[in-house]
Structure 1
Amino acid sequence: MNLKKFMLAFAVLAMFGSPVHAREIVLATWGGTWGKAIVEKAIEPFEKKTGVKVKVISGVSLANVQMISAQRANPKVDIVMLTAGDGATAYQDDLLAPLEPKKIPVLTTLPQDGIPHDAEGHPMLAGMWLYPYGIVYRTDKLKSEIKCWKDLWREDLRNKVGVSSPKYMNGYFLLTINKLAGGTEQDVRPGMERVKALGRNLVAIIDDSAGQQRLLAQQEVWAVPMVSSAAYKMIDEGVPARFVVPCEGAPASMDVIAMVKGGPNPEDASKFIEFYLSPDVIADVTRELKITPVNRAAKITPDHAKYTLTDEELSKLIRFDDQAIVNNRASWQDTWDREIAPMTRR
């Protein structure tokens, strides 16, 4: 390039500036039905409103934790959506940054138990939604309703009860039965004995929602503990069944949104979290997923209300020590595999 052409090119750059790069944040979240709802009801409206692009990386909660851990020295992700347990572990491992209420004002409107705090009082995570772990049963096979956990031991459920082991849903089935039997997270022997007392009622151990849906649809089990979102999906597809929050109460999982420590675009990431957790947006997402928003200001339509927890049910939720679950679940599974799993081999 001769001097004249170089000076002309330089003048053009000076006049118009360097190429403008679109702002972008990276979000790691679930794929499938969950990811589709998040994209359509939250990400697309956010992009349209702000001009900030949201790149989505799809993966299950634990896989996303492993990904941001691998990127610890040079984070590529701004925001991650996780189960509350994985979120707390990731925060303790210094993978997540505290949330800042000054930049995310909606945090101040969420219920206290929807914002887990660290030892210094900083918000670690923000709750998005809750989905209870209750009981689903075939209404066409049982003459009497199932209303309580204790009903799983009824004689009319002989060879028709499926349950999940400690490796699924934070061990909620064992922990719930254990609590009702007088045990604690440090001593699950009462729960183990009570589960063993299912005897001939116990026919299957099912550690995934697809398997639970299939066995119920095929009538191989008539009752099984299950998360509400999976239960309602199956019921809406035509399986004659009902989901109940048992009379003794039920545990519920909370999924959370968090900031990756050292993420490349913290300002726009904060704006997305503020937008996402706002009452109108989180109402749209949770309505699509048939689950309960943590933000109690979210407007619940009559159709959505069929799938959400009532205030009374919220007050009866059973809570467990997340750290105790992390510390003890492997040993619970070992005992389960030796003492409970063989009961289904008949």
Structure 2
Amino acid sequence: MSRKGIACISISVSCLLLVALLAGGALLVRPAAAQQSFAGQTLVITDWGGPWGESLRRNVAAPFEKKYGVTVKFDVGKSYENLAKVRAQRHNPQIDILFVDYGASQWAAQEGLTVPLSNYAASIPNLADVYPQAVAPGQAFVATRVSAQGIMYNEQKIKKPVDSWAALWDKDFEGHVGVTGIQWGTGKMVTTAAFLMGGNEKSPDLGFNKLKELRKIKIFESASQVAQLFQQGEVWIAPQLGPAAYALQKSGMPIRFVLPKEGAFGMFDNMSIVKGGKEQLAALFINFALDPAVQVEHAKDLTVGPTNRKAVLPPDLQQKVPAGEQIGRLYLQDDRYANSQLPAWTERWNREVVPMITK
């Protein structure tokens, strides 16, 4: 090869190296997510409202606003109502974080309404410390808190040990048993009954046949409604979420909460990044919600379990919430499947179970 050819190659290589260095320099000076200024921006998150929303505002949103100079707003509604909002806004997102139950989170991911958390791995380092059960496949979404649905009962009225869902069918309690309505937890009462027959949500016939054995039941659709029934002495025993049961206990009622031996339902509240929203800021908020110290305060406030394994709870709280190995023992209903069956289940519920209120 001639000297001229070698010189041209050398110059070309030098130019390429210079371009690469300049490009690298440009990348080096580009601010990382934590260094970017989000001041003045507004982040919108869906939520259930009530005590749950108040705790999220106090323990997560408020300190996050202070740290990043942003405003956090809540769009309140039930999980599937909020999912419907995100669907309707697909081409013009007004919501940045979808904070809903497991089933709604599954639907959102499947429909491409959210983006995987792995897209923003550098902005969510706390994800590495989350219990595997709290992270959806493909890092589609992550639970920031977990509670269990077990059995709540009045220990002044019920003296015998309660350790099974079968207690709801105990003849000694007939006339004072409360059951969750068909819309509560996407038909979890059907699954509860199926448990006792060796089934689950995929075997609803077993559940409905067992439910038809109940007599003189009280059907409720909200935590506040069942609380009132307990306070009035009409209901002595019923399925309930741990946080709601302990709230009644704190009010002075003789309430005991247990996790049935057949399995308690795991209730994971999940955060997803809405596609096309303020994705980067949403990722930072999720990371903040997963911070161990933040999770401890949130857990103490609501009596819920943290999902970050580094969150160390006070000893008394450890006895009340699912944490550590307990999380792996919770039953996670396939809410996406249950929701697809809900219209048929509702019709059957009204025909076969509702009459048991008076029989």
Change (3 A) 1:206 1:56: closer
Match of 1:115 among 135, 142, 146: 135
1:172-251 matches, within 5 Å, as 172-198=188-214, 200=215, 202-251=216-265
Check whether the contact 1:279–1:297 (CA below 8 A) recurs between aligned residues: yes
* Correspondence for 1:68: 86
SS of structure 2 residue aligned to 1:127:
strand
Shift of residue 27 of structure 1? 2.2
SS of structure 1 residue aligned to 2:117:
coil
**Gap runs ≥5 in structure 1:** 1-19
**Gap runs ≥5 in structure 2:** 1-37
Change (3 A) 1:294 1:188: same
Shift of residue 310 of structure 1? 5.3
Match of 1:296 among 309, 324, 330: 309
Shift of residue 95 of structure 1? 1.6
Change (3 A) 1:55 1:166: closer
Shift of residue 289 of structure 1? 0.9
Check whether the contact 1:38–1:285 (CA below 8 A) recurs between aligned residues: yes
Partners of 1:82 and 1:109 in 2: CA distance: 21
Give the share of equivalent positions with the same residue, in percent: 32
Check whether the contact 1:195–1:340 (CA below 8 A) recurs between aligned residues: yes
Change (3 A) 1:320 1:25: closer
Match of 1:327 among 329, 335, 340: 340
Q: 1:106 aligned to 2:116?
A: no
Deviations 1:40-80 (A, max 9, x none): 11112112222233233333322322222222111122212
SS of structure 1 residue aligned to 2:343:
helix
- Rg (Cα) greater in structure: 2
Shift of residue 248 of structure 1? 1.9
Aligned residues: 320
* Correspondence for 2:148: 132
* Correspondence for 2:178: 162
Change (3 A) 1:241 1:99: same
Change (3 A) 1:113 1:44: same
Shift of residue 312 of structure 1? 5.6
Check whether the contact 1:178–1:188 (CA below 8 A) recurs between aligned residues: yes
1:29-44 matches, within 5 Å, as 29-44=47-62
Check whether the contact 1:183–1:189 (CA below 8 A) recurs between aligned residues: no
Partners of 1:218 and 1:36 in 2: CA distance: 27
Change (3 A) 1:167 1:56: closer
Shift of residue 146 of structure 1? 1.5
Partners of 2:114 and 2:288 in 1: CA distance: 20
Change (3 A) 1:275 1:342: same
SS of structure 2 residue aligned to 1:65:
helix
Partners of 1:224 and 1:261 in 2: CA distance: 39
Partners of 2:103 and 2:39 in 1: CA distance: 37
Give the aligned CA root-mean-square deviation in angstroms.
2.0
Check whether the contact 2:175–2:217 (CA below 8 A) recurs between aligned residues: yes
Q: Normalising by structure 2, report the TM-score.
A: 0.83
Check whether the contact 2:305–2:323 (CA below 8 A) recurs between aligned residues: no
Alignment-mate amino acid for residue 246 of structure 1? P
Partners of 1:45 and 1:63 in 2: CA distance: 28
Partners of 1:48 and 1:184 in 2: CA distance: 45
